[in-house]
Amino acid sequence: MDFREQIWKFYIEHVPGATVEENLLKAPCPFCSSGETEKPAMMVVCLNPESYFFGYFRCLNRCLPGGFPPYFARIMGLEPQKVPGYDPDQEPYVQDIIHPAKNLNAEIKKFTSIMGDEQHAYFQEFGVSNPVVDDMKIGYNGRYLVYPYFLEDGNCYAARCILPERAEDTFWHGDETFFSEEFRIFNVQEIDRCEAGTLFITDGENNLLTLQELGYPGIAVPSAADLENLIPERLAFVNNIFLVMTNAPEPQVAARSLATRLGFKARIIKWASHLNRDYSLCHLARDKGKGFKTAVSAMIKTSKSFSPFSSPEKEHRALFELLEQEKEKELLGFSSGFKKMDHALNGISGISIMGGPPKAGKSCFFMQISTEMARRKTPVIYYDFENGRQKIYMRTLCRLSRLSEKEIRLNHQDEDTSKKLEKAHRDIKDIFPYFRVVTDRKLTPDSMRRQIDFLQHETRTDSTLVVLDSLHKLPFKKLTERRTGIDAWLRHMEAIRDEQNVSFLVVSELSRGDGGSYSKRPDLASFKESGDIEYSADNAMILLPDWDPLDPISTEERKSTLWMVASRENSPGKIAVYVMEYPLWSFREE
């Protein structure tokens, strides 16, 4: 027998006098007595197989809250095995709470007794009737409306007091223990009543009241920020959850965060694009009047299960746009400024890691590439833990002016030197808006992400080059766990590469061989504490000098060979030979 047929049969068997009319079961309510009223109280059950509220029952006289079959069985005193879908191994969610002997029940009764016409009129403005306000036991203390937060044990230990004319004027009343975030769920008992069914979650008690007026089950949190404290395990036995938040960015982000934790059972109800910021269910109820139920039904029908994935349409559009952008491009990545290197790598893209022995010119090589990219208006962030900001700027000035640092620092310069230096100053001034040096030794992946976002926003571009000098000097929590720290940073680089369209140039150290020397044979095993470099690097390169970097008076021409030792897309082998033009701090590709 189909599960829905089982539900239909379950109600027919256990509700005396039941009849079915167009997917709606009707019967005298077995939970209340009609007394001598002309019309007996009626219970209705939704049996529409297409409805999210299939199996939901409620008394039209509101003698008790409605719910789904497991709750119906409990209040009818039926054995749980008789409920379709019963799971004998199901373990209920249990909170470790010690309920105090003192509660607010008597106070809440007093507050409800002094509710007057003026207070009820406030709720009627957004379509909430007196019976709904009474059912939720909302009261009045003479100035503030009092919203009681009953717990699962049926007692109230805390209430939120709100000034009707100014919703931001609010405070908590009662036991301070129950003011904390985990207890900030209005109408929390509804969760158990909606086992194996559907539940609404909204922000603001009044928004929930509008749904209760329509007969929908739901809970509310005081504000969207409180969604963070909803534990998915607490909602584990609810099949469908509708999230309807105020129309503002912050509540929508909070709803997506909760939906991510809940999974496919969550459905975020979206507002029409023309509606004002902070528009809510209360506004919709006020604007639509009798058409409010139709409007909510339409929103439910158009809602979709929350997905952590982009829609196929969005992915197809992104692919089409990418293909359009890549048309007629000679390189897939950024141009390094070196013809042979661009050919070998098909441009700078992904994570490119370059190793080399100390003083081989690794930093200077990447300084030249990155400042030339910035010169062509590619945004660059240079994370430096080796040289210092001023040394980077001075070496760049030397390269641009074709002057040594000594010549730049002369008090009296000839006309030719002055002209070279003046032009270099103009060039580096044009570079600075696109070239940022960061020397923060407390750098974190989160701060890196924010800095990338800011530079992309400031330069109005959607791609960035990030230089890390060097991998082994990135901040780690514990220096003794450097290998683990390097691997963690590489994981973050992969995510940033993919999510923020970032290309990385990373300087790495090499391991010493036997006798403390560096191997002349370039291979992937040469990288120091390589960790996940072989898995994370899109390109792994090694710069080997053909001269002695540790000989300060070497008169040899400073040539270095760049080797590709591993690549996802490109062939390994020799890339090119580069000549260091010292003291101009400039590389020339042979």
pLDDT in the model for residue 514: 67
pLDDT in the model for residue 325: 67
* % the chain with pLDDT above 70: 93
* % the chain with pLDDT above 90: 69
pLDDT in the model for residue 478: 64
pLDDT in the model for residue 553: 55
Which sequence spans correspond to the domains of the chain? 3-82, 108-302, 339-408+416-510+537-589
Tell me the two tokens of residue 125. Answer: 């403005």
Residue range 375-383: average pLDDT? 95
Q: What whole-number distance in Å separates Cα of residue 8 and Cα of residue 84?
A: 10
User: What superfamily does domain 339-408+416-510+537-589 belong to in CATH?
Assistant: P-loop containing nucleotide triphosphate hydrolases (3.40.50.300)
Distances (CA, A) of 589 to 171, 242, 338, 489: 71, 62, 6, 31
Q: Domain 3-82 classified CATH 3.90.580.10?
A: yes
pLDDT in the model for residue 268: 94
pLDDT in the model for residue 480: 59
For the cut 70, the answer to whether the pLDDT of residue 414 exceeds it is yes
For the cut 70, the answer to whether the pLDDT of residue 38 exceeds it is no
Average pLDDT, the chain: 90
Contact at 8 Å (CB) between 191 and 153?
no
Q: What whole-number distance in Å separates Cα of residue 229 and Cα of residue 286?
A: 30
In this structure, the number of other CB atoms found within 10 A of the CB of residue 279 comes to 16
* Chain centre distance of CA 192: 29
Q: What whole-number distance in Å separates Cα of residue 361 and Cα of residue 583?
A: 12
CA atoms within 13 Å, Cβ hemisphere of 460: 0
Tell me the two tokens of residue 491. Answer: 């994981």
- pLDDT tens string 204-244: 999 999 999 999 999 999 999 999 999 999 999 999 999 99
Residue range 440-463: average pLDDT? 91
For the cut 80, the answer to whether the pLDDT of residue 477 exceeds it is no
Which stretch of 292-301, 317-326, 341-350, 495-504 has the lowest confidence by average pLDDT? 317-326
pLDDT in the model for residue 585: 93
Which stretch of 164-168, 298-302, 395-399, 448-452 has the lowest confidence by average pLDDT? 164-168
- pLDDT tens string 503-522: 999 998 888 766 667 766 78
Q: Which long-range contacts (CB under 8 A, 24 or more apart) does 44-52 make?
A: 45/11, 45/15, 47/4, 47/7, 47/8, 47/11, 47/20, 47/23, 48/23, 48/24, 49/4, 49/23, 51/23, 52/198, 52/240, 52/242, 52/300
For the cut 70, the answer to whether the pLDDT of residue 529 exceeds it is no
In 15-151, which residue ranges form alpha helices assigned H by DSSP?
Answer: 69-76, 105-113, 117-124, 130-135
Which stretch of 53-57, 89-93, 195-199, 406-410 has the lowest confidence by average pLDDT? 89-93
Confidence band of 394 (pLDDT split at 50, 70, 90)? very high
Strand partners, 19: 26
pLDDT in the model for residue 289: 95
pLDDT in the model for residue 552: 57
pLDDT in the model for residue 485: 83
pLDDT in the model for residue 330: 74
pLDDT in the model for residue 503: 95
In this structure, the number of other CB atoms found within 10 A of the CB of residue 413 comes to 15
Task: Single out the residue of 184, 217, 202, 221 nearest to residue 281, CA to CA.
Answer: 202
Residue range 164-185: average pLDDT? 93
pLDDT in the model for residue 556: 64
pLDDT in the model for residue 176: 94
CATH number attached to the domain at 108-302: 3.40.1360.10
Residue 527 or 53, more confident: 53
pTM above 0.85, yes or no: no
- pLDDT tens string 93-151: 888 888 999 999 999 999 999 999 999 999 999 999 999 999 999 999 999 999 999 99
For the cut 90, the answer to whether the pLDDT of residue 373 exceeds it is yes
Going across the sheet that includes 240-244, the strands are 218-221, 198-203, 240-244, 266-268
Bridging pattern class, strands 24-28 and 42-46: antiparallel
Residue range 249-260: average pLDDT? 92
Residue range 310-335: average pLDDT? 75
| Site of tokens 């809510």 | 280
- Angle between the N-to-C axes of helices 415-431 and 389-401, in degrees from 0 to 180, rounded to the nearest 10: 130
Classify residue 565 as left (phi > 0), alpha (psi -120 to 50) or beta. alpha
113: Cβ contacts below 8 Å, ≥ 6 apart: 139
Q: What whole-number distance in Å separates Cα of residue 102 and Cα of residue 533?
A: 62
pLDDT in the model for residue 322: 67
Task: Single out the residue of 64, 71, 65, 67 nearest to residue 54, CA to CA.
Answer: 67
For the cut 90, the answer to whether the pLDDT of residue 551 exceeds it is no
Residue range 303-309: average pLDDT? 79
Torsion of CA 44, 47, 51, 54, to 10 degrees: 80
For the cut 80, the answer to whether the pLDDT of residue 374 exceeds it is yes
pLDDT in the model for residue 479: 57
Contact at 8 Å (CB) between 358 and 544?
no
Equal fold, 3-82 vs 108-302:
no
